[in-house]
Structure 1
């Protein structure tokens, strides 16, 4: 907010009877209390705010000309760093950042990785969303049972941008956990988990070689059948993605013979992790619940995975499944594009 706008706000509030402290709190730190008190004193004396000179010193770098230069540079190429702009325009990087943030109202956003969807895939996603919304009532969608597999390794999960260590120098940072060691071939574990609005199944550990349709039929599908029958009896729908073990004709036959209803391979749209609550919510909760300091082998990783599943609250699971109807509506309105 500019100085003239602040003056108008202070004048209006003071004339309505607000005290300087009340005005200070309403502006939420946008103006100092001593400045507000000085302005209120001016209002009492002359009925207005009269400043002899603009507050602060004259701008030497953040001039209108330089602001326009930065704006023009960003218009030509948005994917450019403040450091590069500062070099090109012969000004400090700090000044460039202040221009972009304070004068142009811009904020830096990280790139988000998402699947590249073809027009055909977008069409199939829209068709799937329309099919679900046409054939399932809201209460019916809460009886859909979702399933998914995920690979974990003992090196854990960390964010190179957000996982920071504050220290006086690099050596001090390294001493206080500023390094993340990564094995060339870390031990890995594939797990399967089922989820519905009433809860989660136990975690199924799939660590004996390749997970093909035989392993899927023997180890996964019976667990899905057992635990969903406990929750819903014979009134529920099984959903799985298009992975090869799932779409194999023997897996599809097992589902037809044993499940009350299931979404067949030709119905599920390809490249759509954003339509499975496990992918867009529950897996993240599981990862955040793991105490990675206790993971140093495949055995300890499996132990922590099983413990972390139990820590996921029922409300998180329910909300993840319940919001899917809205996500399908958004997908349809968004012409089948990927949902974040």
Structure 2
């Protein structure tokens, strides 16, 4: 936040407005406003505090060794096949954290119509450092158990993507990784993924198989495919709302240029 915004907020507080009203007017969390006011009443500056981090304990040689290690890690990451599932729904409501509305008063915010029981569709996908699988749409009213996961998603959608041979082409045409023998399928701890039939399929079909015991713990930043779901959600927000599941499926397409940029950053 710029010093000008902070000063403006303090000015509104000094004029008698409440912290809640000031936070609403500048479109920021009330906790920020409280911190700024506390700084002022404690005779502290509203300027950004200088970086107070401690000096590095690594010498130049140690930094060089770590840099080389990271280079080897990048090669390892290029062999990972990231997979995930995400639900998409008709007439979904906006995310209050990501979609702020700028206004002088909360009463100026127009009400948003939502469906009480919106229809949903589960979407599955796989990505690597250079390509993407086709999206798989789980059939409506079908529970994605282990049997469905193996027969419809692993055996068809993901296997088809792994069998690609082209070195060039679009992200939906070229091979997933340079050396399929080094492919490592990354899944999460969902029951269909941990099931014995799923583990057996992966063990037989993937040379570099990681059993479920080796998967890392939960982390919201661990699987980069989560960013793809976010892009698709934003893309749906930019389009007019679909009025049935078939139109929703047509709208859920990998937006090429954005994903090419994202995949190249892994």
User: Normalising by the residue count of structure 2, what TM-score does the alignment of the two structures yield?
Assistant: 0.64
Partner of 1:214: 147
Q: How many residues align?
A: 204
Task: Report the CA distance between 1:275 and its aligned residue.
Answer: 1.1
2:82 counterpart of 1:142: no
Cα 1:96–1:273 change in 2 (3 A) is: closer
Partner of 1:181: 113
Task: Report the CA distance between 1:266 and its aligned residue.
Answer: 0.9
2:93 counterpart of 1:196: no
C-alpha distance after superposition, 1:292-323 (max 9, x if no partner): 42322212211111x2444642121231xx2x
Q: Which of 155, 159, 162 is matched with 1:228 structurally?
A: 162
C-alpha distance after superposition, 1:52-84 (max 9, x if no partner): xxxxxxx9x96xxxxxxxxxxxxxxxxxx8359
2:69 counterpart of 1:160: no
Larger Rg: 1
2:193 counterpart of 1:256: no
User: Normalising by the residue count of structure 1, what TM-score does the alignment of the two structures yield?
Assistant: 0.51
2:37 counterpart of 1:99: yes
Task: Report the CA distance between 1:96 and its aligned residue.
Answer: 7.2
Alpha-carbon distance between aligned partners in 2 of 1:199 and 1:180, rounded to the nearest angstrom: 37
Q: Does the 8 A contact of 1:145 with 1:228 survive in 2?
A: no
Cα 1:254–1:278 change in 2 (3 A) is: same
Q: Does the 8 A contact of 1:145 with 1:194 survive in 2?
A: yes
SS at match of 1:257: helix
**5+ residue gaps in structure 2?**
5-10, 22-29, 49-68, 165-174
Partner of 1:313: 259
Alpha-carbon distance between aligned partners in 1 of 2:104 and 2:38, rounded to the nearest angstrom: 28
Partner of 2:230: 284
Q: Does the 8 A contact of 1:237 with 1:262 survive in 2?
A: yes
Q: CA RMSD in A?
A: 3.6
Q: Does the 8 A contact of 1:256 with 1:262 survive in 2?
A: yes
